[in-house]
Chains A and B, each alone.
Chain A
Amino acid sequence: MMERFDVRLAGLGGQGLLLAGLILGHAVTIYDKRNAVQTVNYAPLARGAPSRAEVVISDGSIYFPEVLNSDVLLAMNQSAYDEFKSQVKPGGIIIADTENVKNFCQSEETYKFPISKIAKLETGRTITGSIVGLGIISIITGIVTPSALTNAVKTRAPRGTVQTNLRALSAGLSAMEK
């Protein structure tokens, strides 16, 4: 039984992080039948300001709802990487978008992918990068099953964007193969 697994998705408003957090939480609770709490932190701006979504996953009860130190950090820009890289648990991992994170330092195990570029190539829209990120998280950590994510995208992606987001997810799920 898994006690607590903390996921932090961090970047800028406009990168689709809040939707990604919602889809991850929905996938884990409704389709993988675990517990999850999702919290958000954002400024009163739609785009350009720091934004993050956090999801705590457990097979038991979750009391404290926010993430202090994460098992996974998805860093979608440099300032998110700089701010949260030291708040990764020992043994935790960082997944970074190399389109936006250029300066790396010695820290927890880091997986580097050109996430925004993959999103742009697959869907034409960088905003789907966070969904690409979810696919990568699923493959590397196994914390959420690909089928649960697929179902959650179908349920929760805004109307008219389901196919786009499914393509982004599928690109993330196969990113390791390239």
Chain B
Amino acid sequence: MGLKLKSKPISELEYIKWDPEKVVYAFSQGNETCAESAVLAGCDFFGGYPITPSSEIAEVLSRRMPQEGRVFVQMEDEIASMASIIGASLGGARTMTATSGPGFSLMQENLGYAITTEIPCVIVNVQRLGPSTGGPTSPSQSDYMQVKWGTHGDHPIIALSPSTIQEVMELTIVSFDFAERYRTPVILLMDEVTGHMREKVGYPRQEDISIFTRSNELPESGDYKPYDLSVKSGVPPLISFGEGVRYHVTGLIHDEYGFPTRNRKEIRDWYDRIYRKIDNGLDRILRYDLYNLEDADTVIISFGISARTGLEAMIQARKKGRKVGMVKLLTLVPLPEEMLKEVIANVDRVIIPEMNRGQLILDIERLNKKGIDIIPVNRYDGEIISPGDVLDAIGGC
């Protein structure tokens, strides 16, 4: 008992220098906010195919990108959308696409290509019921596992999940930073409710945002290895096409120069490096907010819109004297395993509300070495989980 863990909030990253005098407040929808924040983050290229419940992102950007002298392309489908953001990124642009489950499924092959070739890009998935066309206007959180394992083969990826419109704004900006900093696709995982609800959001000015930018600096030796194994961080600098070097890009497992290899050591070293680059960044990548853990015997662990339900339930349970705490995951993939292990080791039980038939819970159970009670609260009927559903799981009176 007596957890002394600290939150790792988004603000700690200091990507936004907030000037209270200069903040502009808006009453803004999640999707609109995501689009405006992409513009603020310096997104140069959006290629997408509108789909409910993400359509407003494309709608807003189709107007805003040309206004800013940047590129918006409505592609013929989601396969091409994903291809377009990879190509534009390799050409030096900060790129994004936005979709929902059916489109995200179509993107999986090219998503794997972006992971393998280590080309930065941001993919927004505003989740709806699935599989297939599922439920276009119904919220869901059932793409949690698809985000991790939708494309085949061993691979790391980063996925972030907002639960408020302010977090939509800040995590959109963080997504662009992580994509460039770690040379990886980043998934911003939203849901129909966070996409469509409106809330007060404070916008910084563009000049108050500073995120990772490619240096495009050629090595002194003139010998550029786009997949250099010797870089300590595990992230070889990416030089955009057209900046003075030629190199090979392929989805085949490749050597340091980007050419296909069947050399066993090179194959192993490549896999180990793409995992190492994420592992080395965990201190920055893992973001979560913790509430009332100090004396908690019961902890709710959740993300996205269900985390808001969890917080409401926590507050109502606390009013009745129950020792309930909360872990709100902002980074979903990779999971903050060390923090979660410590929580599990120090409480009697955890409750996992999620709008699916139980996906996050599988990862939490894997960390449950002590064998405490792990209680699912699932909803998959197109309505969000209510505080009462979670209070029922907490039990008592």
Contacts and interface: CB of A to CB of B under 8 A. Distances in A.
A110 interface: no
A44 interface: yes
Interface stretch (B74-82, B102-110, B256-264, B303-311): B303-311
A62 B387 CA distance: 13
B315 A63 contact: yes
Contact of A65 (B26, B136, B193, B315): B193
B312 A38 contact: no
B199 interface: yes
Given A30-B200, A35-B200, A37-B198, A63 B27 contact: no
B308 A25 contact: no
Measured as residues with beta carbon below 8 angstroms from the partner, the interface class of chain B is 20 to 34
Interface in A10-56: 22, 25-26, 29-30, 35-40, 42-44
A68 B386 contact: yes
A66 interface: yes
Contacts of A36: 27, 199-200
B137 A44 contact: yes
A44 B52 CA distance: 10
A69 to B, nearest CB: 11
A40 B137 CA distance: 11
A19 to B, nearest CB: 12
Given A64-B312, A66-B384, A39 B136 contact: no
Contacts of A44: 52, 136-137
B34 to A, nearest CB: 17
Nearest to B326: A63
Contact of B309 (A26, A29, A38, A63): A63
Nearest to A4: B312
A29 B308 contact: no
A1 to B, nearest CB: 15
B198 A63 contact: no
Interface in A108-126: none
B167 to A, nearest CB: 13
B196 A39 contact: yes
Nearest to A3: B315
Interface residues of A, number: 20
A53 B198 CA distance: 11
B197 interface: yes
B292 to A, nearest CB: 13
A63 B200 contact: no
Given A36-B200, A37-B198, A40-B196, A64 B27 contact: no
A108 B187 CA distance: 47
B25 A38 contact: no
Contacts of A43: 137
B27 A30 contact: yes
A37 B305 CA distance: 13
Contact of B27 (A29, A42, A66): A29
Interface in B345-397: 384, 386-388
A68 B52 CA distance: 25
A117 to B, nearest CB: 30
Nearest to A24: B27
A30 B25 contact: yes
Interface in B110-144: 136-137
A30 B305 CA distance: 23
Contacts of A39: 193, 196-198
Interface of B: 25-27, 52, 136-137, 193, 196-200, 305, 308-309, 311-312, 315, 384, 386-388
7 contacts: A29-B25, A30-B25, A30-B26, A36-B200, A38-B27, A40-B197, A68-B388
